[in-house]
Amino acid sequence: MNRPTLIEHILLSQHSAPRASGKLSRILARLSLAGRMISNRILNAGFLGEHGDTGNVNIQGEDVQKLDVLANDIFIRAFDSAYSVCGLGSEEMDDIYLYPDSTHRGEYVVLFDPLDGSGNIDINGSLGSIFSVHSRVSDSGAADLTDFMQPGRTQVAAGYILYGPATVFVYTAGHEATVNGFTLDRSIGEFFLTHEDIRIPDSRGSYSVNESNEPKWSEDVKTLVKSFRTGTASVGKRSARYTGALVADFHRTLLQGGIFLYPGHSERPRGKLRLLYEANPMAMIAERAGGAASDGKIPTLDLVPTELHERCPLYVGSKSDVEYVIDSLNT
């Protein structure tokens, strides 16, 4: 077995980083543990009566699935003993979560969507978890909201775990780092490097958007999406693909090129996706892989957050496709 494991890769890359203390490596290791636990839970959920919703609605106004709650609990427990993490922000928690001993804990906060695409749970479709790690900016006492409300540009690590036919962990961490993907060998519970130094292909791939929203789009968004649908976009022909899970749609775009779009519309002017734990991690991965991400005007990573659960339009993928979108929407 000559492929590096995820943990070996994390340790080797973080070890070579200037002033590395090993704390970020530990956080990434705990994220991989959470991913393995959630992957296992998804596999067995059908037998254990863990499909279906809880009957509750989250702060986003969405039905909470039983697996959403289980995945959220797994993330909380994963960092219980990782003392470099003082707090968490999650799609499934209205407010930030501070560990009881937050005052004495370390210098990082983690934001995450524990189970993205949960509409796919009951149909055995692809799901994912998304994470974003920031250094704490408040200087004393317990962590506070300012630690979480940082632009994506300051993320120190970001990534996702795709629970598809195989479970795949994709991350980037540290300065000027590459994007790498690891596939879980379920028989031994270990991630191995399978996608080294991922680069988003340009000039090919798919466009990925929920076209049932078309009646609610502005005219310029309608024209833009029509150009992809009819193969008349100046960037070339794109096939249509959409799973309803951002992680799965983004992963395909990362490996095969093209663009994922979730524009704002008349009922949701800022779209559906959350800036801090959906758009920002994907934007960091995209930029590091040679692609781009924008809200249609501003690079996603430069958006300044104003609320923990705020949403933003998202156009992410191959660089020339995102540039084409920005040109189309602003001329």
CA of residue 80 relative to chain centroid, distance:
22
- Reference 233, options 324, 135, 322, 119; nearest CA is 324
Q: What CA–CA distances, in Å, run from 117 to 199, 250, 326?
A: 24, 12, 26
Least distance in Å: CB of 27 to ligand AFP?
A: 23
Q: Which of 135, 210, 218, 328 binds ligand AFP (CB under 6 A)?
A: 210
309 binds ligand AFP (CB under 6 A): no
Nearest residue (CB) to ligand AFP, 107 versus 211: 211
Instruction: Check: CB of residue 103 under 8 Å from CB of residue 133.
Output: no
Residues that bind ligand AFP (rule: CB under 6 A) add up to a total of 12
Binding part of the chain for ligand AFP, among 114-122, 176-184, 288-296, 319-327 by CB under 6 A, reads: 114-122
Q: How many helices (H) and strands (E) does the chain have?
A: 8, 15
Closer of 246 and 303 to ligand AFP (Cβ): 246
Cα–Cα distance measured from residue 175 to residue 166, given in angstroms and rounded to the nearest whole number? 29
Distance CA 303, CA 280 (A): 9
Q: Which is nearer to ligand AFP, 27 or 259 (CB)?
A: 259
Using rule CB under 6 A, residue 272 touches ligand AFP: yes
State the nearest-atom distance from the C-beta of 313 to ligand AFP, in Å.
12
C-beta of 165: minimal distance to ligand AFP in Å?
18
CA distance readout (Å), 68 to 38, 46, 51, 114: 10, 14, 10, 7
Which residues are bridge partners to 110 per DSSP?
88, 133
Q: Which of residues 43-72 bind ligand AFP (CB under 6 A)?
A: 62
Q: Which residues pair with 239 in a beta bridge?
A: 206
Tokens of 273: 């996706």
Could you say which of 246, 282, 301, 303 contacts ligand AFP (CB under 6 A)? 246
| Residue placing its CB nearer to ligand AFP in the complex, 116 or 287 | 116
Question: Of 62 and 107, which has the nearer Cβ to ligand AFP?
Answer: 62
Please tell me whether residue 265 binds ligand AFP under the rule CB under 6 A: no
CA distances from 69 to 91, 121, 277, 290 (A): 10, 13, 17, 35
Print the SS3 string covering 263-297.
Answer: CCCCCCCCCCCEHHHHHHHHHHHHHHCCCEEECCC
Span near ligand AFP by CB under 6 A; candidates 78-86, 112-120, 147-155, 174-182: 112-120
Using rule CB under 6 A, residue 117 touches ligand AFP: yes
- Is 125 a residue that touches ligand AFP (CB under 6 A)? no
Q: Between residues 23 and 268, which has the closer beta carbon with respect to ligand AFP?
A: 268
Q: Note whether 116 binds ligand AFP by CB under 6 A.
A: yes
Answer yes or no whether residue 245 interacts with ligand AFP by CB under 6 A: yes
Does residue 69 sit in helix, strand or coil?
helix
Residue 244 binds ligand AFP (CB under 6 A) = yes
- What are the residues facing 129 on neighbouring strands? 161
* Smallest distance, ligand AFP to C-beta of residue 245, A: 5
Stretch that binds ligand AFP, among 100-108, 110-118, 183-191, 323-331 (CB under 6 A): 110-118
Q: Which of residues 289-308 bind ligand AFP (CB under 6 A)?
A: none
Geometric angle at alpha carbon 131, from 188 and 287, rounded to 5°: 110
Q: Which residues bind ligand AFP (CB under 6 A)?
A: 62, 116-119, 210, 244-246, 249, 272-273
